[in-house]
Amino acid sequence: MLLQRTLTALLLAPLAIGVILLPPTWLFALVVVVVFLAALWEWTRLSGLRNRQVRAGMLGAALLVFAFLWWQMAALRWPLLVAGVAWWVLACVWLKHFAFAASPTTENRNLKLAAGVFVVFPAFVGLLTLHGSEPYGHWWTFLALAIVWAADIGAYFSGRFLGKRKLAPNISPGKTWAGVVGAFVAGALIAVLGGWLLGVKGAGLFGLAVLAVVTVAASVVGDLVESLMKRHAQVKDSGRMFPGHGGLLDRMDSVFAAVPVFALGKLLLGL
């Protein structure tokens, strides 16, 4: 499984990097919309919605929301980013009370569908805020995602060799506190290196390192929330799109949580 996951990652990484660095922001936005709609499709399934026609209708409505957000980006940037960060803070309470909304009722399904709004749309605004920033917006976007990727790698190896104490055994038994520490270290190192290459110095570089740790913490929460959704739905993966990696949501869960935090932090730091 590790070999399959590694090969899939090596094939996808150049494509992802190219999509981030090469196109103008308007084309990048179109690609992001397609990816996010596919992730939303999986989210509706995990939420317990089985009717494919209704799910398709919800994706159509989401497409209209993406278009509206693109049109009103300047006015909605701050409130959407703040709402996104607030949701992931609230999600920590849900993780603590992990049995909440577990039963397959209509009310619980609707709650999870509503949660998807705060998962996807703030991340869309965050990515476009980063990508469209001047100067080096493409590279800031790459740095945000590189922090998440590095954290994932750091968590895997530190958890594998040092992990003993479980982080959330009732939600994701494989995650450990040692893995979280490894994720923090890897994410902060990448942030400092990337910030230095982008011309950030002094206190700004320290602030970026702190932001990276907070961003990684959010990415861990995002990963756990998706794991919780899968446990409630009694499925192993959100889909079967990527061999060894599961569905698209399995690959994007950390990103959805990390991007609003990083984008809002970058604005507050004035970077």
Q: Does pLDDT of 206 surpass 60?
A: yes
Rounded CA gap, 177 and 166, in Å? 6
3-state secondary structure at position 243: coil
Rounded CA gap, 123 and 144, in Å? 12
Q: Determine the pLDDT at residue 164.
A: 80
Cβ contact 31:19 at 8 Å:
yes
Q: What's the average model confidence in pLDDT over 128-132?
A: 96
Residue 256: is it exposed, middle or buried by C-beta count within 10 angstroms (0-12/13-18/19+)? Answer: buried
Rounded CA gap, 190 and 185, in Å? 9
Q: Where are the domains of the chain?
A: 2-269
Cβ contact 91:221 at 8 Å:
yes
Residue-wise pLDDT for 149-174, tens only, equals: 999 889 888 888 887 888 888 898 88
* DSSP result, 92-116: HHHHHTTTTT-S--HHHHHHHHHHH
Q: Determine the pLDDT at residue 133.
A: 94
Alpha-carbon torsion 238, 62, 67, 121, what sign?
negative
* DSSP result, 82-97: HHHHHHHHHHHHHHHT
3-state secondary structure at position 167: strand
pTM, to two decimals: 0.93
- Which position has the higher pLDDT, 13 or 265? 265
From 102, 118, 25, 119, select the one nearest 70 (Cα to Cα).
25
Name the amino acid, one letter, at 100: F
Rounded CA gap, 97 and 89, in Å? 14
Residue-wise pLDDT for 223-257, tens only, equals: 999 999 999 988 887 766 655 556 788 888 899 99
Rounded CA gap, 29 and 61, in Å? 17
Q: Does pLDDT of 3 surpass 70?
A: no
pLDDT averaged over every residue in the chain? 91
142 token code pair? 């790459």
Name the amino acid, one letter, at 74: A
